[in-house]
Chain A
Amino acid sequence: MGGEVIKIDADLSAIREVQAVGGDTLKKCYQCATCATVCPLSPDEAPFPRKQMILAQWGFKEKLLKDPTVWLCHQCGDCNKYCPRDAKPGDVFAALRLLVIREVMPFKILYSLCNNLWGLPILALIGLFFILFWTVLLFGGVPNFADPNSFPYGGGYYKVWFLELPARVLMIDIIFMPLAGFIAVVLLTGISKLWNNYVETFNILPAYRYRWWQIVKMYLWPAIKEILNHQRFEKCNVNNWRTTPHQMLLYAFIILAITTAIVFFMADILGFHTPWNPLTHPVKWLGNIGGILLIYGSLNMIAGRTRASMENYLKNSYPDLFLMYLILVVGLTGFGIVICRSIEFINFLTAFFYIAHLVAVFILFISVGYSKLAHLAFRTTAVVFDLYYKDILKKVS
């Protein structure tokens, strides 16, 4: 090295950021590399999490943004168990993923709202504001919230283009369709940022820089298959219990997304408007299965994570609790609507559950881009890149 001076600037704010969202044990790491060996997912050529621990200790967030391994970690917790310093690399990685989300996504305020307790009432109030605003507007004033026939199942119909929409459906479409579009767009910018980072960092030769549809065609489907099977999760040891509830949650989301799409098509486009009979309608069966899986998955996740945190294999930080309970509330309020609607003497509670459910779903939509739920997009991106890169290595050699 001779007289060469290497100047390293530790990014203190990045370090504090990681420490604030569950990575507080970061500084305990003394780089023994036990974690990289006990990790069932860590590959020989680019082992983790030891290396990322020291990068994070110095706050080198640029390097972390370029590193897909941050997402390839599935927080098995084997590293947490064997770490001789109790530095909890698995939990630090969860915090690093949040850091990446924060860095890669536009409109950082939404990140802050999703990952701090103080943001929760604000998110809820924003959701409530939109819902009540459009309700008042579309129901022609304040409806009688104690009567389900006034709200949500009143308010008349609106003719939009060739569609005939009830007030509540129009209210939902007006709020949630732009929201979904917004989240999709910001997620796509995030994904493309990360992808380009990876391609640059790994020096992918121009000959192998495929167009995006080629990538999607060649690697996305295998990645999705792997994710559906939870192949990587299954390799976990100490937190192996997580595989089933997590898989159930994923299936629940897929089933509920399909149900929503069918309902949208049949009700909004074809005009077979809800509410449908929850016990006899086949689409409702599908929705019920999704809802049950959602509640089952989130309850198991909460119970499992509580147990694991007592055994010190995993830590529950606010961002974890936020997401688990949010999903649980979405599931419970969803069933709450159906139950209150169907039972005469608690009929008056229907509106309460209806609004609560919409607020929870509103927050959930934002979470898809800004809470740890964004791993749905970003981990998939990293897994696709992982398959892509391994394939290229094979082709090159």
Chain B
Amino acid sequence: MGNSTILVVGGGISGISAAVEAAEMEYEVILVEREPSLGGRVSQLRYYFPKLCPPTCGLEINFKRIKSNPKISVYTMAEVIEVSGNPGKYKVKIKINPRYVNDNCTACGECERVCQGERISDFDFGLGKTKAIYLPNPMAFPMKYVLDKEALAPGDLERIISACKYNAIEPEMEEKFLEVEVGAIIWATGWQLYEATKLDHLGYGKFSNVITNMQMERMASPWGPTGGQILRPSDQTIPQRVAFVQCAGSRDENHLPYCSYICCLASLKHSLYLAEKNPETESLIFYIDIRTPGRYEKFLKKAQEEAKITFIKGKVAKIEEDPETKDLIVTAEDTLSGKKIHEKVNLVVLALGMQPNTPNLNIPGLKVDEYGFVISEEGIVGCGCAKMPLDVISSVETATGAVLKAVQTIIR
């Protein structure tokens, strides 16, 4: 009989769901998350599918289940660096990066107020800044600050330490290594956005008003860098006309050959974000095929009714910037009319595809396919977007399935 502990790698919606479900069946669970907070991509969204819930809706209840369940041990800022052994009996090495803030932290925020150094927020995809000591997000789990030592301004450290009433700052904290033995592993390391600068004809990084779909989510989020306002990065004005470039990187043999499943739905959702603020805002969706799988066809109807969307069948392959207004001229062939069109818009959103996070992890023993998606096998099971591009509800379903697979390995 092997070990009956289950390791869940990745603390996004899939990993959290897997951890909770396994723990609620009385299995010991170790949940490892690379970032300082659980929540993953869902916590970065304004609304998520299928019911357009805000992230608090799904995450809070799960955080509560984790908190009240003694079977789950959570490690944030932690990475799996080595896996050895066999199904039923794995040895896993985990590296825990220093947070420089200990468990005394109550997230009172006194340190943040006195800190002067700033860092670019990767949580906001570069759209905003945080202080060098920061709370990952308003609903972080654990609700604890993190210190980015490299972003500290001179004198910051002394100010922060003296501002903290709870003795929570530990600048000498060092990285720790942990070795655990587990019976099965669930990979739920999720996804990242395809690198937009690789699409050299779409102007991302060159033109300030070309943004990614995830930047759109952050701007629409009430606790995002703009406080929920959707603004043009160049001049912080409200865009009246927005172009969405579908299949930016997806279904493209030069980039991601597969369909990323969610981008069409995301752009429809973004049109609704715009309509929510101002129903007159125009959305131009340039598509190859609008893919709204299964029952999401209903969502397409909803977006068509509630937002002012023009659908143009033709992929955008050229974006130019008007240097004065920073408006963008988007060129595509409208294949239904057979003419090339040049549309002037205030903002361009690239509907970028999903790429698994796995290739960056480089774990020997983990099987992935040619694109980096996890190939499940006895003892190591993938779920969520580490397995394939999925929406939230399907990710959660694959998590449940992964738990069953993990349990089968353990009790066999």
Residues of B304-356 whose CB lies within 8 A of A: 313-318, 331-333, 335, 338-342
Binds A, one of B73-81, B123-131, B250-258: B250-258
A contact residues around B231 at 8 Å (CB): none
Residues of chain B lying within 8 A (CB to CB) of residue A33? 313-315, 317, 332-333, 335
Contacts A32-B288, A38-B317: A84 and B335 contacting too (C-beta < 8 A)?
no
> In this assembly, does A193 line the interface, its C-beta being within 8 Å of a C-beta of chain B?
no
Contacts of A85 in B (CB 8 A): 253
Q: Which residues of B contact A36 (CB under 8 A)?
A: 314, 333, 340
Query: For chain B, which range describes its interface: under 10, 10 to 19, 20 to 34, or 35 or more residues?
Result: 20 to 34
Q: A109 in the interface, Cβ–Cβ < 8 Å?
A: no
Query: Is A84 within 8 A of B251, CB to CB?
Result: yes
Give the CA-CA distance A85 to B259 in the complex, in Å: 13
Q: How many angstroms between the C-alpha atoms of A38 and B342 in the bound complex? A: 13
Q: Taking A32-B288, A44-B340, A46-B338 as contacts, is the C-beta distance between A37 and B254 under 8 angstroms?
A: no
CB-nearest residue of chain A to B252: A84
A residues 279-323 touching B (CB-CB < 8 Å): none
- Tell whether, in the assembled complex, residue B339 and residue A34 are in contact, meaning their CB atoms are under 8 Å apart: no
Give every chain B residue within 8 A of A82 (Cβ-Cβ). Answer: 201, 254, 317
A-B contact count (CB 8 A): 64
A46: B residues at CB distance < 8 A: 338
Q: Find out whether the CB atom of B201 lies under 8 angstroms from the CB atom of A47.
A: no
Q: How far is the CA of A334 from the CA of B247 in the complex (A)?
A: 54
Which residues of A, 36-78, contact B by the 8 Å Cβ criterion?
36-38, 42-47, 50-51
Asked whether A37 and B288 contact (CB < 8 A) given A31-B335, A47-B333, A50-B333, the answer is no
List A1-57 residues whose CB lies under 8 Å from chain B: 30-38, 42-47, 50-51
- Determine how close the nearest CB of chain B comes to the CB of A44; give it in whole angstroms: 4
Distance in angstroms from A256 CB to nearest chain B CB is 40
Could you tell me the distance between the alpha carbons of A42 and B339 in the complex, rounded to whole angstroms? 10
Of A37, A84, A86, which is within 8 A of B333 by CB? A37
Taking A47-B338, A47-B339 as contacts, is the C-beta distance between A34 and B315 under 8 angstroms? yes
Is there an interface contact between B247 and A37, defined as CB atoms closer than 8 Å?
no
Whether B253 lies near A37 (C-beta < 8 A) is no
Complex Cα–Cα for A42 and B253 (A):
23
Q: How far is the CA of A47 from the CA of B332 in the complex (A)?
A: 10
Chain A contacts for B253, CB-based, 8 A: 84-86
Find out whether the CB atom of B254 lies under 8 angstroms from the CB atom of A84. Answer: yes
Chain A residues, Cβ within 8 Å of B339: 44-45, 47
Residues A38 and B254 in contact in the complex (CB < 8 Å), given A45-B339, A47-B333, A50-B333: no
Report whether A37 and B331 are in contact in the complex, using a CB–CB cutoff of 8 Å: yes
Q: How far is the CA of A74 from the CA of B134 in the complex (A)?
A: 57
Whether the pair B332, A37 counts as a contact (CB closer than 8 A) is yes
| B201 / chain A contacts, CB cutoff of 8 Å | 38, 82
Contact between chains at A32 and B338 (CB < 8 Å) = no
Whether B340 contacts A37 by the Cβ 8 Å rule is yes
- Name the distance in Å between B303's Cβ and chain A's nearest Cβ: 22
List the 4 closest pairs (A to B, CB-CB), nearest first: A84-B252, A37-B317, A33-B333, A36-B333
The chain B residues found within 8 Å of chain A, CB to CB, are 201, 247, 251-255, 288, 313-318, 331-333, 335, 338-342
Residues in chain A within 8 A of chain B (CB atoms): 30-38, 42-47, 50-51, 81-82, 84-86
With A84-B247, A86-B253 already in contact, 11 other A-B pairs whose C-beta atoms are closer than 8 Å? A32-B315, A33-B317, A35-B317, A37-B314, A37-B318, A44-B341, A44-B342, A47-B333, A84-B253, A84-B254, A84-B315
